[in-house]
């Protein structure tokens, strides 16, 4: 009898940490996704991208004040050096040293936060897999494993004290790390962040207003499991009236761009060194499909568009 | 009848075309005037020698060719632009000039070619950027990484728009 109780106690003790982690992963993710609303921070980080089969790293400085002001400065690599991004509430601005001007980034439809997170939990197993140190701070390591299909595995490192996300990693369906980021130094709630760092000063370029869409907006009859349409916006791109249809599974997204064109002879072709892009023309329309999913899957989506 | 009158009638006399009265008057003068008689002999001798020459027939369309040559020579004398004054040339020329003027003056947008079936680099760059803006809203996503990825893609467009 005593032996049975002992065995039962050992089993309970062995299972307790994993069940605790499972219960906390959801809470940690929610706190991490909303931490920016309550925390100020400043730091430097590196962001690495698998580009043309090589890893390219960028050095970035980030300054954030609650609830939604963020200034991001890019120091390297060369194509990005000198670029500054400022998030001012719903507005996103980009400064490029080549043009010496600010330009408002034309946004896609803003996705409702709750809908998006529901998609993440529906389509991924969210797990707390351990703890780690990032920039000298303790972090939780959360992993999102796709429940179905060939999707990437995502990891985030969340500061245990502030819940600010201090690191990310994406591993694709081939097991390759395609992107990662990690703070090398960070200050939580510094007292000396000036509001002027979020000011847009100097030359500002205008953004073309979207025109009327005078064509049938096509839809794919096939989407990978878990994806659904989350938005559709009309934009003007290089004088063309264009529709951007947006699909998401909560963590990953697919974009379909459609506009009129003068011919239908261009066959499907693959572009992109860092992401999968398919473009083709048919029946007087030019289509461009972008998504971080296997090419065969993207091709199936493309073939189903009518 | 005087010598001048006889000379005027000399050809008709030789051709025997004069009436009886006139013929007698001419013969009476020739019998009495050695100069006119001598003139008559010379004329008859010339006619005899001319009749000895071999005859050569003219081509049937001789006059047509002559007419064309004359017209060509007259046209060659005129300036080249005289052609433009001819209605058959002038009317199409005026219509063509008017059409070209209209195309040059008309607003560009109405004669713009249809949108291309291929993407320009700025257009492709926009698509990459817009997709990254969608992706940065997803959970587990670092917007800075998404941005770096999109910027690298658009920065290399000059060498990256060929089909694979």
The CATH number linked to A265 is 3.30.200.100
Residues A229-254 have a mean pLDDT of 87
Closest chain B CA to residue A266: B117
For chain A, give the percent of residues with pLDDT over 70.
84
Asked if residue A14 and residue A134 are part of one domain, the reply reads: yes
Residues of A in contact with B122 (CB under 8 A): 237-238
Residues A146 and A265 in one domain: no
B163 pLDDT above the threshold of 70: no
Residue at A206 is within a domain: no
CA of A17 vs chain B CAs: smallest distance (Å): 23
What pLDDT does residue B105 have?
A: 65
Residues of A within 8 A of B140 (CB-CB) are 120, 142, 144, 154-156, 168, 170, 251
| Ranges A126-130, A243-247, B114-118: which has the least confidence | B114-118
Q: Is residue A211 part of a domain?
A: no
Size of interface A-B (CB pairs under 8 A): 176
Out of B122, B131, B152, whose CB is closest to A255? Answer: B131
Let me know whether A240 and A294 are in one domain: yes
Q: If you measure CA to CA, which chain B residue comes closest to A259?
A: B115
A55 domain-assigned? yes
Q: Which residues of A touch B123 (CB under 8 A)?
A: 237-238, 240
Residue A22, pLDDT score = 44
CATH at A22: 2.50.20.10
Q: Are residues A51 and A178 in the same domain?
A: yes
pLDDT of residue A134: 97
User: Is A51 in the same domain as A150?
Assistant: yes
Residues A158 and A233 in one domain: no
Same domain, A159 and A21: yes
pLDDT of A238 above 90: no
Distance of alpha carbon A103 from alpha carbon A97, whole angstroms: 12
Q: Taking a contact as any Cβ pair under 8 Å apart, which residues of chain A between 228 and 287 contact chain B?
A: 231, 235, 237-238, 240, 244, 246, 248, 250-253, 255, 257, 259-266, 269-275, 277, 279, 281, 286
Q: Kindly report the nearest CA distance between residue B94 and chain A, in angstroms.
A: 33
Q: What is the mean pLDDT of chain B?
A: 75
Report the pLDDT value the prediction gives residue A268, as an integer from 0 to 100: 64
More reliable by pLDDT, A164 or B68: A164
Q: How many CB atoms lie within 10 A of CB B80?
A: 7
Q: Is residue A217 part of a domain?
A: no
Q: B129, B130, B161: best mutation site toward chain A, by most A Cβ within 10 Å?
A: B130
Among candidate residues A198, A219, A241, the one where a domain is terminated: A198
Higher pLDDT, A215 or A222: A222
Any domain includes A183: yes
Indicate the residue among A198, A218, A247 that finishes a domain.
A198
If asked whether residues A13 and A94 sit together in one domain, one would say yes
Q: What is the pLDDT of residue A231?
A: 85
Q: B148 vs A58: CB contact, 8 Å cut-off? A: yes
For the segment A100-146, what is each residue's pLDDT rounded down to a tens digit? 999 888 655 556 666 667 788 889 999 999 999 999 999 999 999 99
How many domains is chain A built from? 2
Question: Looking at the complex, does the CB of residue A128 fall below 8 Å from at least one CB of chain B?
Answer: no
Same domain, A277 and A180: no
Please indicate, yes or no, whether residues A232 and A110 belong to a single structural domain of this protein. no
Q: Under an 8 A CB cutoff, do A273 and B133 touch?
A: no
Q: Where are the alpha helices (DSSP H) in B33-142?
A: 34-51, 62-77, 87-105, 121-135
Residue A212 lies in a domain: no
Question: Which chain B residues are within 8 Å of A52, Cβ to Cβ?
Answer: 156
Whether B60 shows a pLDDT value over 60: the answer reads no
Bridge partners of residue A205, in order along the sequence: A103
Q: How confident is the model at residue A15 (pLDDT cuts 50, 70, 90)?
A: very low
A89 CA to chain B: closest CA distance, Å? 13
A295 within domain boundaries: yes
pTM: 0.66
Nearest beta carbon to residue A49 from set B128, B130, B152 = B152
**Interface probe with B: pick from A242, A249, A271, most Cβ of B within 10 Å:** A271
Whether A223 is in a domain gets the answer no
Say which residue, A72 or B114, is predicted with more confidence.
A72
- Average confidence score pLDDT of chain A: 85
Examine the pLDDT at B126 and tell me if it is beyond 50.
yes
* DSSP assignments along chain A, one per residue: -HHHHHHHHHHHHHHHHHHHHHHHHHHHHHHHHHGGGT--EEEEEEEEEEETTEEEEEEEEEEEETTTEEEEEEEESGGGTT-EEEEETTEEEEEETTTTEEEEPPP-PPPPHHHHHHHHHHHEEEEEEEEEEETTEEEEEEEEEESSSS--EEEEEEETTT--EEEEEEE-TTS-EEEEEEEEEEEES-S---GGGG---S-EE--PPP----SPPP-BS---TT-EEEEEEEEEETTEEEEEEEEE-SS-EEEEEEEE-S-S-PPPEEE-SSSEEEEEEETTEEEEEEESS-HHHHHHHHHTB-
- Write down the pLDDT at residue B79: 59
Listed residues A158, A177, A198: the one ending a domain: A198
**Residue B137: closest C-alpha in chain A:** A111
Which of A49, A253, A264 shows the shortest C-beta gap to B145? A49
pLDDT tens digits for range B63-95: 666 677 777 777 666 656 666 677 777 788 788
* Res. B61 pLDDT band, cuts 50 70 90: low
Q: Do both A19 and A86 map to the same domain? A: yes
Shared domain check, A191 and A73 = yes
Query: If you average pLDDT over each of A199-208, A290-299, B1-10, B39-48, which comes out highest?
Result: A290-299
Query: In this predicted structure, what is the pLDDT of residue A20?
Result: 46
* Position B34 pLDDT exceeds 50: yes
Residue span of the structural domain in which A267 resides? 228-303
Q: How confident is the model at residue A221 (pLDDT cuts 50, 70, 90)?
A: very high
């Amino acid at each position: 009898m005593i032996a049975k109780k002992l065995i039962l106690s050992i089993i309970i003790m062995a299972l307790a940490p994993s069940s605790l982690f499972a219960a906390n992963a959801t809470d940690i993710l929610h706190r991490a996704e909303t931490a920016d609303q309550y925390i100020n921070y400043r730091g430097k980080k590196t962001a690495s991208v698998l580009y043309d089969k090589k890893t390219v790293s960028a050095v970035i400085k980030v300054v954030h004040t609650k609830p939604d002001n963020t200034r991001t400065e890019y120091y390297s690599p060369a194509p990005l050096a000198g670029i500054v991004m400022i998030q001012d509430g719903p507005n996103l601005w980009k400064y490029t040293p080549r043009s010496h001007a600010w330009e408002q980034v034309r946004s896609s439809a803003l996705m409702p936060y709750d809908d998006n997170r529901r998609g993440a939990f529906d389509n991924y197993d969210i797990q707390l897999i351990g703890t780690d140190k990032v920039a000298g701070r303790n972090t939780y390591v959360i992993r999102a494993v796709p429940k179905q299909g060939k999707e990437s595995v995502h990891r985030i490192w969340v500061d245990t004290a502030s819940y600010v996300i201090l690191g990310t990693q994406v591993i694709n369906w081939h097991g390759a790390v395609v992107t990662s980021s990690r703070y090398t130094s960070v200050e939580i709630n510094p007292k000396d962040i000036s509001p002027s760092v979020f000011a847009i000063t100097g030359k500002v370029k205008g953004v073309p207003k979207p025109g009327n869409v005078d064509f049938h907006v096509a839809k794919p009859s096939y989407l990978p499991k878990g994806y659904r349409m989350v938005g559709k916006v009309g934009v003007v791109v290089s004088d063309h009236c264009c529709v951007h249809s947006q699909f998401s599974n909560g963590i990953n997204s697919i974009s379909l761009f459609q506009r009129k064109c003068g011919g239908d002879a261009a066959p499907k072709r693959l572009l992109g060194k860092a992401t999968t892009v398919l473009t083709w023309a048919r029946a007087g329309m030019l289509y461009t499909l972008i998504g971080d999913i296997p090419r065969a899957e993207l091709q199936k989506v493309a073939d189903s568009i009518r | 009848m005087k010598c001048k009158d006889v000379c005027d009638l000399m050809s008709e006399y030789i051709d025997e075309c004069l009436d009886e009265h006139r013929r007698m008057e001419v013969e009476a003068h020739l019998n009495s005037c050695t100069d006119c008689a001598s003139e008559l002999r010379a004329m008859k001798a010339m006619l005899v020698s001319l009749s000895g020459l071999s005859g050569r027939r003219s081509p049937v369309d001789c006059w047509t060719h002559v007419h064309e040559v004359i017209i060509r020579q007259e046209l060659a004398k005129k300036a080249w632009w005289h052609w433009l004054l001819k209605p058959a040339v002038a009317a199409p020329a005026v219509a063509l000039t008017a059409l070209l003027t209209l195309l040059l003056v008309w607003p560009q947008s109405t004669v713009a070619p249809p949108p291309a079936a291929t993407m320009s680099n700025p257009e492709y760059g926009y698509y990459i950027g817009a997709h990254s803006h969608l992706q940065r809203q997803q959970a587990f996503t670092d917007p800075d990484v998404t941005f770096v990825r999109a910027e690298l893609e658009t920065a290399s467009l000059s060498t990256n728009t060929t089909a694979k």
